[in-house]
């Protein structure tokens, strides 16, 4: 009897607890979004980009003056990246969900406001596609994957999300025109689990279905955009 009462009381308590848990459907803004809204200092961003800050090396050293890397360099173009994408990447380097030996320590050396300033600075620079760094030996396959995807592999076209030009498809969906070495490295990082800052794993799942030849074809295609 005692047990029954205790069980009933427990049941009632559980029911009340469930009722008390009012559903909250509102989206919580991620930290990088909060930082971007709090700080929009383009000049401060330019200073860090050109001179560095403490352990954070000057961005321009690798990524070029004005955010366009030297021809043949394996580093990504930063000019014209969406502020949201840029800021999110540095937060993710810092948090380790985008693992990289060079960028990890740089992310850790920067405060939220400094990341935001850099994002606003690079977004303000003119967008320009990188010059071709590799000759495409599979132009057809790269074009097909980028524009139409692959039905048998259940791959949607890259352009569905990333857009058809250098400006990209949305706040966290950058344009894909980048040096071939960079694109290939990122697809490999997604495939191998070194880069897992893609929400629910959307790019990891896609990259796992790309062959080495597909990766090269896409890297070559986007190097010439």
Partner 1 sequence: MSKIMPAVDVVLVGGGWTGSVIGKELAATGQRVVVLERGQPRWTSPDFQAPGVRDELKYTRRNELHQNAATETYTFRNRVDETALPMRRWQFAYPANHLGGAGVHWSGAYYRWDPVEFRLRSHYTQRYGARIFEDGITAQDWPLTYDELEPFYDRFDRLVGASGFAGNLKGVIQPGGNPFEPWRSRPYPNPPMRVPHAPALFGEAAAKLGYHPYIQPSALSTRPYVNSEGLHMNECVYCGFCSNFGCEQFAKASPQVCILPVALKLPTFELRTNAHVLRVELDKDRKSARGVTYVDAAGVETFQPAQIVTLCAFAINNTRLLLLSGIGRPYDPATGDGVVGRNYTHQTSSGVSLFFDESVKINPFMAAGAVAVTMDDFCSDNFDHGPLGFVGGGYIQIQVVSGAPIGNRPTPPGTPGWGSAWKKAVKRYYNHSIPITITGSALPVRGGYLSLDPTYRDAWGQPLLRITYDFPDNDIKLSAFLTEKGTEIGHAMRGVTLAQGNPRTKPYGATGYQSSHINGGAAMGSDPATSVVNRYGQCWDVPNVFVTGAALFPQNSCYNPTGTIGALAYWTADAIKRDYLKAPGKLIAS
Residues forming the site for partner 1 (CB under 8 A): 14, 17-18, 21-27, 147-157, 159-161, 164, 199-202, 204-206, 209
Distance CA 203, CA 213 (A): 17
Nearer to partner 1, 2 or 28 (CB): 28
Strand partners, 53: 56
Shortest separation between residue 123's beta carbon and partner 1, angstroms = 21
Nearer to partner 1, 104 or 164 (CB): 164
Nearer to partner 1, 52 or 149 (CB): 149
Distance CA 201, CA 62 (A): 28
Nearer to partner 1, 119 or 172 (CB): 172
The backbone torsions φ and ψ at residue 56, rounded to the nearest 5 degrees and listed phi first, read -85, 115
Task: Identify whether the C-beta of residue 83 lies closer than 8 Å to the C-beta of residue 39.
Answer: no
Shortest separation between residue 188's beta carbon and partner 1, angstroms = 18
- Residue 96 tokens, joined: 């380790």
Task: Identify whether the C-beta of residue 69 lies closer than 8 Å to the C-beta of residue 75.
Answer: yes
Task: Identify whether the C-beta of residue 103 lies closer than 8 Å to the C-beta of residue 97.
Answer: no
- By residue count, the chain amounts to 225
Task: Identify whether the C-beta of residue 33 lies closer than 8 Å to the C-beta of residue 86.
Answer: no
């Amino acid at each position: 009897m005692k047990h029954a009462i205790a069980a009933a009381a427990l049941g009632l308590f559980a029911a009340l607890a469930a009722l008390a848990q009012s559903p909250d459907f509102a989206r919580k803004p991620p930290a990088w979004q909060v930082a971007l809204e709090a700080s929009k200092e383009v000049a401060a961003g330019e200073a860090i980009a050109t001179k560095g800050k403490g352990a954070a090396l000057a961005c321009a050293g690798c990524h070029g003056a004005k955010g366009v890397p030297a021809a043949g360099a394996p580093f990504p173009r930063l000019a014209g990246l969406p502020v949201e994408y840029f800021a999110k990447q540095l937060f993710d380097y810092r948090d380790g969900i985008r693992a990289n030996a060079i960028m990890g320590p740089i992310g850790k050396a920067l405060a939220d406001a400094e990341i935001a300033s850099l994002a606003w600075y690079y977004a303000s620079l003119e967008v320009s596609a990188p010059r071709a760094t590799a000759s495409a030996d599979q132009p057809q396959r790269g074009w097909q994957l980028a524009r139409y995807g692959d039905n048998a592999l259940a791959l949607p076209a890259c352009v569905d999300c990333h857009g058809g030009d250098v400006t990209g498809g949305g706040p966290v969906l950058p344009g894909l025109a980048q040096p071939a070495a960079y694109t290939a490295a990122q697809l490999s990082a997604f495939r191998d689990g070194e880069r897992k800052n893609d929400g629910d794993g959307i790019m990891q799942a896609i990259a796992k279905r790309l062959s080495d030849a597909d990766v090269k074809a896409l890297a070559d295609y986007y190097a010439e955009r």
